[in-house]
Amino acid sequence: MEYTNLGRTGLRVSRLCLGTMNFGPLTTEEDSYQLMDRALELGINFFDTANVYGWKLGEGITEQIIGRWLAQGGGRRDKIVLATKVYNAMGNAPNERGLSAYHIRKACEDSLRRLQTDHIDLYQMHHVERSTPWEEIWQAMEQLVREGKVLYVGSSNFAGWHIAKAQAAAERRNFLGLVSEQSLYNLSARTVELEVVPVCEDYGLGLIPWSPLAGGLLGGVLRKISEGRRASDRLQQRIEQQHAQVEAYESLCSEMGEQPADVALAWLLHNPVVTAPIIGPRTMAQLEGSMRALEIVLSEEILAKLDKIWPGPGGAAPEAYAW
C-alpha cells in the first residue's frame, strides 16, 4: 500500500479509501466486518462513512456497524483514519439537518455514540449550507476540535468558491479550516477540473473522489452484460447514452491488458491533487482487485487516449472557455 499526506496536513492516509455506503443496505454486517478486516490487512487505513448511510431516517445504520466492528478491539480504532459526515436530515424536526451550530454539535455527539469512539478524525460537511454563516459553522467546529472530538474538518460537494469563502473565514479566526474536499470525480465526470481541483491545489486540500467508477459505467459494464449480468435501469440508461465511449474505453483497457475499473482508479491516482479515491466494494474480490490500480503507470500516450475518449472541460477556468 502507498500512503500520502491528507492535503497540507501531516496525517498519512492510504491511497485508496474504503467507502462504507453499502454496509447495511447491500452488504451484511458480517460481510462488512470481513471487508474492514481485510482492508486493514491490505494496508488501507482510511475509512469513510456518513451519518445518513443505511438510509433509514435517524438510525445511522452504517455508523452503527462500524462502531460494533471497532468495539471488537484488537487496536482497530488506532489503526484507521475515520471519516464521517454531517448535513443531511437525521430526523423530522427543523433543527435535525444542516450546518447550524446546534445541529453540528448534536450530529457529532450522535455519530460518536454510534461509532463507539471518542473522536472523529475527519469530520466532513456533506454539502454546502448557504443559509448558515461561516462564523457560526467554524465556531461550532472549533469547539469540537478543542474538546478533542474532531481532529480535522473537510467538505464534500462544495463548489470552488465555497471552499475559498470557507478558507477566508477560517483564516480570519486563525483556524486550520478545510483540509479535504470530497467530490464527484471520474473519467466521465470531470467538471471539478474547472475550479474545484485548482482551488484544492491552491489551498492545500486533499481531493477525495467519490463514485470513481461512475456507478459501474467504468467498471467493465459491457463485458459484464455480455456475460449475462444485468445492469440497473439507471446504469442501462447511461450505457445507451454513452455506448460508443464505453466501448472505446473497454477496448483500450483490453489493449493495455488491464481491467477497466483499475484503469479508472489509476487515472485518478495520477492526479497529484487526489489523495485517495473512495472504493465501495460489495465483495472481497472487488476489494482485493482494487489493489491493482496502485501498480498501473499510465503513459502520456495512454493519458492522451483517455482524454480523447473522455474529454474534460478543457482544463482549469477561465482558460478552459476563454483566453
Please tell me the distance from the alpha carbon of residue 295 to that of residue 190, in angstroms, as a whole number. Answer: 23
Would you put residue 257 in left (φ > 0), alpha (ψ -120 to 50) or beta? left
Please tell me the distance from the alpha carbon of residue 125 to that of residue 108, in angstroms, as a whole number. Answer: 11
Tracing cell 461561516 back to the chain, one arrives at 134
Please tell me the distance from the alpha carbon of residue 140 to that of residue 149, in angstroms, as a whole number. Answer: 12
Query: Does the active-site annotation cover 53?
Result: yes
Task: Name the catalytic one among 3, 33, 53, 203.
Answer: 53
Strand order in the sheet with 46-48: 206-210, 178-184, 150-156, 120-125, 81-86, 46-48, 17-19, 278-279
Of 293, 312, 83, whose CA–CA distance to 196 is shortest? 312
Residue type, 175: F
Residues noted as catalytic: 53
